[in-house]
Amino acid sequence: MKLTKTAVLAAALALSCATVTLHAAPANAMTFMEWLQKRKEKKQAEAAGLPGVTTTSALPGAAAQVKQEAKPLPRVTGPRYYTYKADALKRVGVDKLADPVVTSSISADVAPAGDAGIRAAFTNVDVRTNPDAAKAVETFYSDNRKFVWIDGTGINDKAKAAIAVLADAASVGLDPWDYAVKIPANDFDSADMTARYAELATFEIALSSAVASYVQDAVRGRIDPNRISGYHDFKRKDVNLVAALKNVSMSSNVKAYLESRSPQSADFQALKDELARLKAETSSEDRVVIADGTLLKPGQSNPELANVVKGIVKHGSDALKTDHSVTIATYAGTPEYTPELVSLVEAFQKEHGLKPDGIVGKASIRLLTGGDSVADKIAKVEVALEQARWLPVDLGARHVFINQPAFQVYYYEGGSEKFSMRTVVGSKSNQTYFFEDKVQTVEVNPYWGVPQSIIINEMLPKLRNDPNYLDRMGYEVAVGGRAVPSSSVNWYGSTSGISVRQPPSGDNALGELKILFPNSHAIYMHDTPSKSFFKKDMRALSHGCVRLAEPRKMAAAVLGVSEEEVGKEIAAGRNKALSVKADIPIYIAYFTAWPNKDGVVEYFDDVYGRDDYMRKAFAATQKARQAGA
């Protein structure tokens, strides 16, 4: 018998009433109608509280989605840049030490009166330095109860050698004012030894504090990279400053010891030499100037063409100028960009590693004008010297080095560069991080696990309009680890339990292989089907990972096999992880000034603006140190 909805409801109500009749209900018992309403609300809550699979089956396809009020689409944002906070200076607590220094080094003509006087003088010493240096100085003098820098009533040669190195700190990219110490005068009133002792005591602690601070800065840098932005990820080096002070106290060559605290690598030395060269240049520069915003294409007419030719004459090689001598000699400064001049520009572009298309844009103009001014170059080298201190002392005989502003990756073996290739790095809105790691795996025919940021920022808007989008594109979707069609997922809730991946194929975003160095930033190197990007000069175009122009070559190098062997693994068509047996560090670095394999420092655009944040950090550090000095 078929019942109408009214009959069903009546029967249900009758049953509920019967139940009430049979069982005495408490005063707060739920009525049947309340129960129906609660059940309805529960189902709505379950539908809205995704991730999950839509249970509505009455409507097919997109109509099966649980429709909700239009709300702003969620967004996943990347790390942010910080306002740099430098450490405040701390007073060195030598007055808390029992008999901090004995006066074995005080000359006989002021002892024993000097013995008590100098000890008393330490109770009034007010020297401030960074917290690590302050702690080291306190510990050092509690264990080593004699002067390092004082002989008799004056400073010794060891002190003079240390002061000379500190005063020259700018030569290695540090700030000499951070280590400035007031030097006791040679002349003093012998009738007022109390004042002399106070002066000597202050100098002793001040110089030890300056030396400890210098050693720490020379080894690991003044700036804590992790305070600059969330894109910086480094474990700061530990520096044993107590041991450094002991070494200084025992050293017969303080100058050599202090100078050895800065990195000794060829790269650092090249940067140091470049800084000295730049500072020696005269302030007046004979620079080629090309108007901002100039964009010159073949066949056009532009008055800046004369400056373009001038730039080629100034910065092109002798061989290039010989090959195009007729064009250069006959050019009369006219604005017409003729085929002969296009050939000249293309040759210049090719010589400098640019795409030889004859289009004079930002990258070409940078080379034609000689790039940065001397002042700009000095600023970039100073930043590079600081950042170089964040890296290990030894990068490793075999390692991979990615320099993001150069859009290049370099492979080293036996301590020398074996090859380099073009890369594509993260765009300004999807920046690649600055960190170090170790290469572990080469995965051929890879799956691409789509990051949550891409699911939310890029896929979700499409999926809300077309739930079949991922099914059509061949992606695999799972909710809570269970494979489901994308059309069955309610895309109006949280995506935290939803995973999306693209199977291996010719269209896979990772191409035919990826090279992994597991890290918390989900950054790796990989192939790409978008080969045209490598022809561009500005290649900050990815979602953050590093795309390789020649992925098989890099894979073969880190695996220690031939490219043919890598090709066979790819041709097999299976997704397969190949373990990298060797210990190969990888540095995902960011240097706008860095030496090439010949030791010549090259300069690059600050694509992410990170040098600006470094200079702000320098200023904040200088302010904090001067405020407490």
pLDDT in tens, 156-174: 999 999 999 999 999 999 9
| Cβ-based neighbour number of residue 593 at 10 Å | 26
Q: Which residues pair with 301 in a beta bridge?
A: 336
pTM above 0.85, yes or no: no
At 72, the amino acid letter reads P
Q: Are 554 and 525 in contact (CB under 8 A)?
A: yes
Q: Go through the chain and tell me how many residues it has.
A: 629
Q: What average pLDDT score do residues 76-87 get?
A: 90
pLDDT in tens, 545-572: 999 999 999 999 999 999 999 999 999 9
Nearest of 162, 155, 156 to residue 183 by alpha carbon: 155
| CA distances from residue 41 to 30, 34, 63, 123 in whole angstroms, order as listed | 15, 11, 21, 75
Nearest of 378, 384, 379 to residue 619 by alpha carbon: 379
Q: Are 231 and 426 in contact (CB under 8 A)?
A: no
Q: Chain-centre distance of CA 101, in angstroms?
A: 45
Catalytic residue among 352, 399, 526, 543: 526
Nearest of 211, 367, 359, 235 to residue 295 by alpha carbon: 359
Angle between helices 157-167 and 193-220 (to 10 degrees): 50
d(CA 251, CA 158): 9
At 24, the amino acid letter reads A
pLDDT at 616: 96
- With vertex at residue 615, the alpha carbon angle to CA 614 and CA 616, rounded to the nearest 5 degrees, is 90
At 157, the amino acid letter reads D
526 catalytic per annotation: yes
H helices present in 50-192, as ranges: 113-122, 131-143, 157-167
| Dihedral over Cα of 79, 268, 406, 447: its sign | negative
pLDDT at 366: 85
Pairing of strands 150-151, 154-155: antiparallel
For residue 10, pLDDT beyond 70: no
pLDDT in tens, 322-366: 999 999 999 988 999 999 999 999 999 998 888 899 999 988 998
427-439 in b/e form (b: 16+ CB < 10 A) is beebbbbbbbbbb
Q: What percent of the chain stands above pLDDT 70? A: 83
d(CA 513, CA 585): 19
User: For residue 51, is the peptide bond before it cis, meaning its omega torsion is within 30 degrees of 0?
Assistant: yes
Q: Are 309 and 369 in contact (CB under 8 A)?
A: no
543 catalytic per annotation: no
d(CA 132, CA 239): 9
Catalytic residue among 324, 399, 543, 545: 545
Q: Are 367 and 347 in contact (CB under 8 A)?
A: no
The mean pLDDT of the chain is: 85
